[in-house]
Structure 1
């Protein structure tokens, strides 16, 4: 049986926001390309989000430049509406997407330009490979997780709603955007919730009539790059209830029991670091410094935005912060569920090239790797803080597409023929 082989200049792997953005820019440059997606378009937005999740930014900002959401610009749209948006966008740009095709292996063609890509539906040959599989590839649960068969444990990637959990109390580990929003939803449903809080940032959702995403833009924060060696703290911001500032003191006053960063599980107990006060207060100091920078920007630019002194007033410190719990007993405290909001890792098992760090993260320069023809787009801090956000990935994709086009020009260059003069 003859193997089915399809040839194209550039093969984009993944049809989420990164893959669709790549397709738009490649199409604008008339670069022949195909986008492969193992599931449906924007599948992660449909099936790998909890039921009530909304986007973490208002839809005037969390979009591509050439198409708006059909909502009030300040709306935080649901995850299904985000998926619908990308499906519509793909149709708008006539993206050559092929769904239901999983990439199994990518190999360099020996002594030649290009790559052979083995998939579940035949082979593809391409000069360039753009990996656009997104930042949420492999849910990571730390090795400290206990192997207790009677304990219900899931990653936040598997969480859907409070009804899926058994009766009893819940420990949520991780206080970034996902952990906080899940803890709030569980608390509102009547569950007793313990929230393990590590180092984090908690910017204001809005300040002086402008959303946080606007402030990140005018203050230049979206363009900040992060050295790979610096740990990225949890980022606690929420689009719940029309968008609200995450306030850990308020979470505690509302009934959520805050605890420090999780240390270990032992003898039916879980132990926490004594760092809760430091984690909360350092984030509050950063929050106040952020407000000060916003105030200075308003004053320096003569903007007519009303003052908001109440934003700088904190609730009293609750007892669970001032006298934090250092351990919990799963039986005595009736904890029957643990939700790990512990982030994601990388999974490029199908890509056997020397372009990865020890932790599996790609080695690249703003998406360009040392393996000519292999590129990444859609990863956190690919070029800046905005790289993994909807609007940011669109701009990164344009830069990568432009780079591919420039490489074409180099490869297609032919020096002029110079006639040799005859000797006398």
Structure 2
């Protein structure tokens, strides 16, 4: 009787291989689920931030309208005096061409941000420029003596692109000399460090006030029975149902000289005449604190709600005074909520624009106001991007420092 041919079926994969395959499949499914969110964040968050930081160092405007002089100025030596005839000849050609192409305003706008008076210089020189000259260097200097200044040519060199550090240096009140050395800008022009410090000071003040006001509210919401805490939670959430512009305008009405706040203070005898509570720093801080308070209460409340009441009762039963039990037992457990709430409030406060613009005065505007100014009013995208980049990097540094300090303080407690 003939025997059956032996079969050579592949061996079954081991249990370990099957587990690895199942785990890879699980990871692929999880990645597919978060892929739409990752794409959304990349398109609406990461790409705009990357483009902003690119614009802070990308400077192609002058090279597009003046290709000759921006290429010729690379050979400018020494940089303590005006360049030679070749660079002036390229400048004359570019001036004439940009005048004919009606692009002189582009060069004037870019140079005027670095060298005050450049706009009038360019237009008057282009208007008086002859068709031919034996020496373009002597001709242009004769038209306007400022063409002999190394500072002007240094500004042209800095604007030659395509990459520049000019906007970032201006955002921190620094500039380069014609020889390339860094130096502070003149005192009357040094404004951005003061604005950045003002922005962080206002944001920190508002955050601390929100913490001082929000901690008792969150504690009350977390400890009250549901039939009392739920209506109070609605009051906390109520500002979210009202437009930010409406809330800010309401504070303008309340804080004005004949507003409700001043009338109440005079009626109580605390003031003899209306106090100035609006269009100054006080009004900005009051309005921003009101707007941002829910952003601190909600994270703090969610953490407090999860702390068992048994801990406090146990500490009291073991002989601890209520204050000691609160500080030693309850307060450390609220640290995650405090960290989350203060960070959220502080970061949102840094970028506030509407409230300071409506309630604050000229000396109370934060950095967001100037970013909007350079974006919409002067169309100086490089300066707006540089200010935004400085604010972003400074915020990230402070965030990393704050997180490290919190971890260092929490480690001994955890041990």
User: What is the TM-score when the length of structure 1 is the normalising length?
Assistant: 0.17
User: What is the TM-score when the length of structure 2 is the normalising length?
Assistant: 0.17
* Greater C-alpha Rg: 2
Q: Which has the higher contact order (CA 8 A, sep 6+)?
A: 1
